Amino acid sequence: MIWTKRAGRGLVWLLLAVVVLLVLLCAFLWWRMEASVPQLEGELTGVAVSAPVTVARDAAGMPTITAATRADAAWALGFLHGQERFFQMDTLRRAAAGELGGLVGANGLKLDRVTRVHRFRARARLIVAGMAPEERALLNAYVAGVNRGLGSLKAAPFEYALLFRTPAAWRDEDTILTVFAMYMNLQPALPMREMDRARAMAKGGVALADLLYPLAGSLDAPIDGSRLPEVPLPAALKPLLAADLDEVAEGAPEAVVTGSNNWAVAGRLSSSGAALVANDMHLGLGVPSIWYRARLVVNGRPAVTGVTLPGAPLVVAGSNGRIAWGYTNSYIDTADAVVVQPDPDFADRYRTPDGGETIVRVEDQLCARDVCEPFVIEETIWGPVVGTDAFGRKLAMRWTAHERDAIRLSPSLALETAGSVAEAVAIAHKARIPQQNFTVGDSAGNIAWTIIGAIPARYGFNGQDAVSFADGSRGWRGILPPEATPVVMNPANGRIWTANSRVVGGAAHALLGDGGYDTGARAGRIRDRLLMKQRFTPEDFLSIQLDDVNVKHRWWQALLLRELEKRKGDAKLAALIAPVRDWGERAVPAATGYRFIGVFRDAAVKRYYRAWVGEPEKGGMRKSYAPSMGEVTLRRVLEARTPALLPAGDVSWDQFIDRALAEAMAELDAKAGGDITRFTWGAVGRAGVQHPLAKVIAPLGWVTDPRDVAVPGDRATVRAQAPGFGASERFAVSPGHETQALFQMGGGQAGNPRAPYYLAGHEAWVKGTPAPFLPGPARWTLTLQR
């Protein structure tokens, strides 16, 4: 009894100690947040600017920077980025350099092993060393501003306290690494398409590779109206052995496309008479947003307004009063897998057009905080060795990101002052950023599309499969010259649209290649909405951006309804007929039939690809070998239903459908107890906007994260949406008419929860409420001077 009382008192004291400790930790975190709130008002002296600079923030934290020179504006922007977004900048530079482990520990090593191979820090240093003096001076000003901003905080950003780390100063090369991080975000760090096709060829020859990884489909919606021929369905295929299927892991979704939407109409179709441009870039969503809004007024010139990327001194997308521009990921083919052919006479050498070369071994190390391990990188004349394919061939990667001038800041800066579409297109062809669909319109009503960024000048092959460059018959002749870059300017119908799918056909498509295009479902929906009207306002464009109709699911709904009708003797399946029939086409929270159609579709795609090429091992960087265009493959085989295309393990196509239905029903049972009325899209269609550390330190989310809510949209709708993924911003603007323009951004401007405008604008993004493109009246003003 005495022991029990003592144990009880001990437990009480232990619980009390835990509570006190938690209170102290919360108080400490609160203090760190308060100590790292940015300076909003007053005067900052000792600044390396040529004349006083004013920073006027509105109620949402959006600054208007008024400066005498662009370098002064860069210093001020760097100061704001350093004060408000340094932790996000730090993670970007580390992600590109393969140094995340040094910040977050062992959890970062998986990504570091992939990225360090590319040696982007060394490449960034070379790019900085090769900059023109004026470009370097502007970069130096920005870097100085970043470090002054960070150093002016009373304490480092609160995230460093949680990680028990100290932030390192920003360097010139780190800005280049920030842009390299966008390369990594938008393009694969490995030649995935070539490796996937090799895997398919090893299982069933070229015919299987062409079937599983198509280049064209019925959903294509290019702006030139072109059609690519579909490869005929194979008459026979060699399937995986049934025994192999038993070893395949279950339950991974197909690969997804990181993408965006943009479109424009000519001035004759807009309410203002100027071109009207819309852009929503689809990226990972978090707190704060990946973007930082800003308006720059330099030396009395027209202001440039838009989004900046913390870590870089540029306005990425927006309007300068004469042009408005935006981006979508192009998915052109920017990299190739080069088969490294061993020299038969020397074990450590490989063949090149100029004879044998020795593979260069670079001794490096990867660190998880302060514990390091050796890491060896093999380099060839074409690029680093990145692995082997299904045939056991060693592969090097030739990638435009490895070019000596892979990143140029000056052309992107020039867009801020460009006066016309023609001038902007010429600038885009000199720019070096991750290759994007560049859509631009001007105040005179002109519109254009082109590719911004370097395009490989291939010869001897089309880039779809890994090939050897050893005999000189295949390779790159450097980068495509500007005059050869495809352009569509002022099309007859006055409309341009892109959404990560193929944009052009013919010779232009042959030059650009296919780096993993999306199906064209979103692009087609945008096209159709644009063709419905002859006059557009920014509000009309916002309505298109919020469109949640899933065109891709129409085919699957018709198929599923037919299959359910055939099986209506099963009571559980019969109960699904009405909700599938009345699905409504829209990805809205209350939809039930919509969700089941998607689950059935995903099960069918997953089963088909799993049967032919297996799945990646669990816990790896990849989830599936199915491409976005796998949609095309499944439609074709399910329409043809020839025995030759039937996957191993199924004796008939009816059995294939039965098993896909069984997987879908299993999910319905697991998630809603078999009750379709509870199987709503809103249960999975969530915003999922979180601070990155809140994903591993859940209580932090109580302070940092907005309330998670169900939102309309899906990955295949114009309003692209999935938990933690979607439109990172939305804008619709006519250059010269910015006062009528609209803007939305999820996650907010501020990085610190104690900032007075934390999460400002997020609710408008969630609800799709129109919000102004321009900043509002100044709420806080900060002056920077020497």
Annotated binding site: 194, 333, 336
Q: Which helix (H) or strand (E) holds 323?
A: strand 323-329
**What single letter denotes the amino acid at residue 564?**
L
| Phi/psi at 218 (5° precision) | -70, -20
- Alpha-carbon distance of 538 to 415, in angstroms, equals 22
Q: Rounded to whole angstroms, what are the CA distances from 773 to 65, 309, 354, 383? A: 16, 17, 56, 43
**What single letter denotes the amino acid at residue 273?**
G
- Cβ-contact 265, 259 below 8 angstroms: no
Q: Rounded to whole angstroms, what are the CA distances from 698 to 306, 702, 709? A: 33, 8, 17
In sequence order, the 6+-apart residues with CB closer than 8 A to the CB of 644 are 234, 235, 236, 237
Could you tell me the two tokens for 41?
A: 């008002």
- Alpha-carbon distance of 708 to 285, in angstroms, equals 12
- Alpha-carbon distance of 129 to 144, in angstroms, equals 17
In sequence order, the 6+-apart residues with CB closer than 8 A to the CB of 366 are 98, 101, 109, 112, 113, 116, 372, 373, 375
Report angle CA 201, 202, 207 to the nearest 5 degrees. 25
250 class by beta-carbon count within 10 Å (0-12 exposed, 13-18 middle, 19+ buried): exposed
Output Rg (C-alpha) for the chain, integer angstroms: 27
Q: Is 501 assigned a catalytic role? A: no
- Cβ-contact 240, 648 below 8 angstroms: yes
Select which of 36, 260, 272, 624 is catalytic.
260
- Alpha-carbon distance of 345 to 480, in angstroms, equals 36
Give the residue numbers annotated as catalytic, written as ranges. Answer: 260
